[in-house]
Structure 1
């Protein structure tokens, strides 16, 4: 059975994007960028909602060919292109870059994918993750908290019908007072 991990950068007040989808507050240090790149390299499959898919697929397929691309960006772009991806959307008709499109029920498909053998799966995108969270499918939360209050925007967590008990499995501090906390869901 595969492990499903939900991890994102978030503000101290719990948002993954500030109003207007502003992500300027979450620019990673070189060390944090390498941590995210290593996660991509270790991920067996990434699940994307449409909005985050459109953001990532607009930049990373050719980021390594841009003038001034750093070795870290070149490595991340390669890892991102090579990583198998599933995109959940009912409004787009095609995807590329080693991805397949699912237009049906996301929870049914995620449940099926979790039952397969393989490496861990990352779930990306607030709306898709919220559905999986409500369905009790998230096995781990990787929370990268930046020392900023943005006052609103897209929340990391959704409202739940019942408590979810977690166990702390890792903490780490990155430059800029950014803190990683990883929690596993207690089942």
Structure 2
């Protein structure tokens, strides 16, 4: 069975986006640029190791508006070029009933995401990442997520889009990795205990 991971940058108070979908707290404007370089490389390596990424519409639109051609922009760094190529080459599935076309090695699913994710998990293929809060929430409630990766930034935003959704029952987890990045950013990785 394929492993499904939900991983995102998150604020210390548990949000993946501040109100208005503001992601400024996770960007490259901090005092320690090396933290951003090291963390960006970690995310890029994660994309390279992911067999399939499952996107909700909102995050798909944000990613697909930038990364498909980011390697062709003037001044693109080697890391940005590598990430763009990895992202473009990685198979992706977008779950949406409001768009009718996707590009960049992507397949569109307009039906029940839980049924399709359940089916994908039975395939004999590599690991999958679920990307986007709404899609991840559906997978969480259905008990489909095998691993949670939180990259916690030392900032409080007070409100926004939460990493975790409300659940009907407890989910027990085991800590399997921690890593500290410069600037006080902490990665924690948990596996679901079944």
Interval containing the TM-score (normalised by the shorter chain): over 0.9
1:44 maps to what in 2? 51
1:6 maps to what in 2? 6
SS at match of 2:183: coil
SS at match of 1:183: strand
Compute the displacement of 1:27 (Å).
1.7
TM-score (norm: length of structure 1): 0.99
Match for residue 124 of structure 1 among 109, 131, 135: 131
Higher mean C-alpha deviation, range 21-30 or range 6-15: 21-30
SS at match of 1:157: coil
1:169 maps to what in 2? 176
SS at match of 1:173: strand
Compute the displacement of 1:148 (Å).
0.1
SS at match of 1:62: helix
User: Partners of 1:175 and 1:21 in 2: how far apart?
Assistant: 25
SS at match of 1:180: strand
Gaps of 5+ in 2: 29-35
Compute the displacement of 1:66 (Å).
0.8
How many correspondences in the alignment?
187
User: Partners of 1:30 and 1:160 in 2: how far apart?
Assistant: 35
User: Partners of 1:186 and 1:94 in 2: how far apart?
Assistant: 37
SS at match of 1:141: strand
1:105 maps to what in 2? 112
Match for residue 81 of structure 1 among 88, 99, 109: 88
SS at match of 1:176: helix
User: Partners of 1:82 and 1:117 in 2: how far apart?
Assistant: 19
User: Partners of 2:163 and 2:139 in 1: how far apart?
Assistant: 13
Q: CA RMSD in A?
A: 0.5
SS at match of 2:7: strand
User: Partners of 2:46 and 2:15 in 1: how far apart?
Assistant: 21
